[in-house]
Amino acid sequence: MTRRNKPLHQAKRRSVRRCPLVASAEVTELGSGTLLSARTSELAIGGCYVDSLNPFPEGTLVGLRILRDQGVFETKARVVYCDPSFGMGLAFTEMPPDQRSLLEGWLIEIVSQLRPVS
């Protein structure tokens, strides 16, 4: 099942809107140190979706780095769902205050660009 065909109950679990963001990402499995180069497609205050042909399994604890011209966001996360050959949904678990501020700034910027100009 792809994320596009996700059951309705799974989509309803999200309490925060995700914003589109295509950016380079590095996902490191904390147990083994395995590094996965990928890209994000959606971002929210509590998590993101990472496009990857070889995603980590559900429940995997990872370190995440999202790289943009506006800086580098780093946090720890857990894989909450996995779409084999497509990617994985990550929930942020341990986010330092400075990284939360950076993420909030990015989300404000993205949301302001999504609003139609009147």
Nearest to 6 by CA among 79, 80, 83, 77: 83
Based on DSSP, count helices (H) and strands (E) in the chain, helices before strands: 2, 6
Domains and CATH numbers, the chain: 15-114 (2.40.10.220)
Where are the extended beta strands (E) located within the chain? Answer: 19-29, 35-43, 47-51, 61-68, 71-83, 87-94
Question: Residue 107 has which token pair?
Answer: 């989300």
Q: Rounded to two decimals, what is the model's pTM?
A: 0.83
Q: pLDDT tens digits, the chain, 118 residues: what are they?
A: 444 444 444 444 545 678 999 999 999 999 999 999 999 999 999 999 999 999 999 999 999 999 998 899 999 999 999 999 899 999 999 999 999 999 999 999 998 887 665 5
C-alpha to C-alpha distance for 40 and 88, rounded to whole angstroms: 10
C-alpha to C-alpha distance for 18 and 69, rounded to whole angstroms: 20
Question: Residue 31 has which token pair?
Answer: 């147990």
Max CA pair span of the chain = 51
